[in-house]
Amino acid sequence: MVVDKRMSIATSQPLLAGSILESLSTKLSDNEDLAMPNYLALAEEVGELARGGSALVEESAAASNAIVKEWLATTAAPKMVPSIASSKQLMILDPLTQADVAVASASSDGGAALKALQQRFESAAALIEPTGGDVEQITFSRAVVPSGPSGDFMKVVRADGKIHYILGDVENHGLPAAFQSVKTHAALEANHLTEKLAVPSNEMASDGLAVIDETVYPYEKTFSVSHLMLDPKTGLLEHAGAGSEAYVLHPDGTVVELESGAPLMGGRYFRYGELGTLNSKLQLHPGDTAIMMTDGIYENRMWKSGLDELLKKAAMNGSSPLEINSQLTNPLIPYEDDASMFIVRWPGPKLSVQTRAIGLARSMASTAEV
């Protein structure tokens, strides 16, 4: 199969890839165990050389994904996985294949590749850039074993002008939970979640949650998930959840708990989309703060009798997202489960520079007329 795929790539642009493929053939014949890392190196090198030839890049990546999937099924794979799991060569693979490699390496690297992939999925850029600076946002994530991967997953996307916050928590914790957490992230990446959320028929938060359900099915474990959808222009907030917790804090001290509306995802007896519309809407006012958290925070023994009171005080005091985060994630708190949280404050509609200039000119004109 390797030869067939190499020939397929070579025929796309023989002058470019021929010498590289010939060199690879020698390496493969010298040490068969190095076939997979070398194949990935080839695919990466061909891709770098052929940025102007998209067909070759796509074919190279497709061939690499196919080879890796077959290779992971062999008995020789486990001892070689660590050599590529943390390598930049992994980047050429599709998200689902990357997740498969990271999972396969867990028995030998203790979940290091899983954590690295998770950190890339949940980088500051991935979680903050989609907001476009339209909100004040703090994110927090901590695995029950700080050096290990988490069974929680966080994602932010911008679709059709709205900001979508997705927070999930796979049952239990440790490597088994992290396996599904990373696979869920990979499925959302690979199946173009942003484009699906922008489809007009998926206009409500519950529609988005149904899309997530369809994307990650079938499941290996049950998990809770919250989907918050915010229109940064109007402040309209929609929420749909499955076994999750979310709150809105008003400056007058009022705390509104957003109902979950559905049981955990992952049950074999129903699909989320079959439950009908389980959607709540809330009009935010400037300064309102939305909070999504996993049970690693809201079920922590430190807060079982005091979380509601803390949120009320935070609302009354006008605590900033950063202050709320520091109150809920005190480093002295013992964590018994993976813990993750989004804290989002809506500052109010932002006027464009042009709109502000026009408004200022009109105000000055009105004043002059008086």
pLDDT attached to residue 232: 94
pLDDT attached to residue 22: 46
Which residue has better confidence, 139 or 19? 139
Where residue 306 sits, what CATH number does that domain have? Answer: 3.60.40.10
For residue 111, is it left (φ>0), alpha (ψ between -120 and 50) or beta? left
Beta bridge partners of 142: 339
For 289-308, how does the pLDDT look when each residue is reduced to its tens digit (9 = 90+)?
Answer: 999 999 888 877 666 567 88
pLDDT attached to residue 360: 41
Mean pLDDT over the full length of the chain: 75
pLDDT attached to residue 58: 60
User: Do both 172 and 79 map to the same domain?
Assistant: no
Place of tokens 């813990």: 339
Percent of the chain scored above 70 by pLDDT? 67
pLDDT attached to residue 81: 52
Greatest mean pLDDT among 80-84, 204-208, 271-275, 327-331 lies in 204-208
Amino acid at 149: P
Using the 3D structure, point to which of 78, 93, 108 is the last residue of a domain.
93
Residue 9 pLDDT > 70, yes or no?
A: no
pTM over 0.95, yes/no: no
User: Do both 159 and 291 map to the same domain?
Assistant: yes
Residue 159 lies in a domain: yes
Distance separating alpha carbons of residues 43 and 56, to the nearest angstrom: 10
Residue 114 lies in a domain: no
Residue 115 lies in a domain: no
Residue 336 lies in a domain: yes
Q: What is the mean pLDDT of residues 28-36?
A: 47
Distance separating alpha carbons of residues 63 and 308, to the nearest angstrom: 53
- Model confidence at 213, pLDDT cuts 50, 70, 90, reads confident
Give me the number of domains the chain comprises. Answer: 2
Beta bridge partners of 341: 140, 293
Distance separating alpha carbons of residues 127 and 52, to the nearest angstrom: 30
- Model confidence at 344, pLDDT cuts 50, 70, 90, reads very high
User: Do both 63 and 158 map to the same domain?
Assistant: no
Distance separating alpha carbons of residues 247 and 257, to the nearest angstrom: 4
User: Do both 239 and 163 map to the same domain?
Assistant: yes
- Model confidence at 50, pLDDT cuts 50, 70, 90, reads very low
- Model confidence at 3, pLDDT cuts 50, 70, 90, reads very low
Residue 45 pLDDT > 90, yes or no?
A: no
Which residue has better confidence, 231 or 144? 231
pLDDT attached to residue 61: 61
User: Do both 68 and 164 map to the same domain?
Assistant: no
User: Do both 270 and 157 map to the same domain?
Assistant: yes
Question: Can you give the residue range of the structural domain that contains 83?
Answer: 2-93
Q: What is the mean pLDDT of residues 255-278?
A: 78
User: Do both 131 and 174 map to the same domain?
Assistant: yes
- Model confidence at 13, pLDDT cuts 50, 70, 90, reads very low
Residue 263 pLDDT > 90, yes or no?
A: no
For 88-137, how does the pLDDT look when each residue is reduced to its tens digit (9 = 90+)?
Answer: 555 667 788 888 888 877 877 888 888 988 998 998 889 999 998 899 99
Three-state SS across the chain? CHHHHHHHHHHHCHHHHHHHHHHHHHHHHHCHHHHHHHHHHHHHHHHHHCCCCHHHHHHHHHHHHHHHHHHHCCCCHHHHCHHHHCCHHHHHCCHHHHHHHHHHHHHHHCCHHHHHHHHHHCCHHHHHHHHCCCCEEEEEEECCCCCCCCCEEEEEEEECCEEEEEEEEECCCCHHHHHHHHHHHHHHHHCCHHHHHCCCCCCCHHHHHHHHHHHHCCCCCCEEEEEEEECCCCCEEEEEEECCEEEEECCCCCEEEECCCCCCECCCCCCHHHHCCCCEEEECCCCCEEEEECHHHHCCCCCCCCHHHHHHHHHHCCCCHHHHHHHHCCCCCCCCCCEEEEEEECCCCCCCHHHHHHHHHHHHHHHHHC
Residue 167 lies in a domain: yes
Residue 55 pLDDT > 50, yes or no?
A: yes
Residue 361 pLDDT > 60, yes or no?
A: no
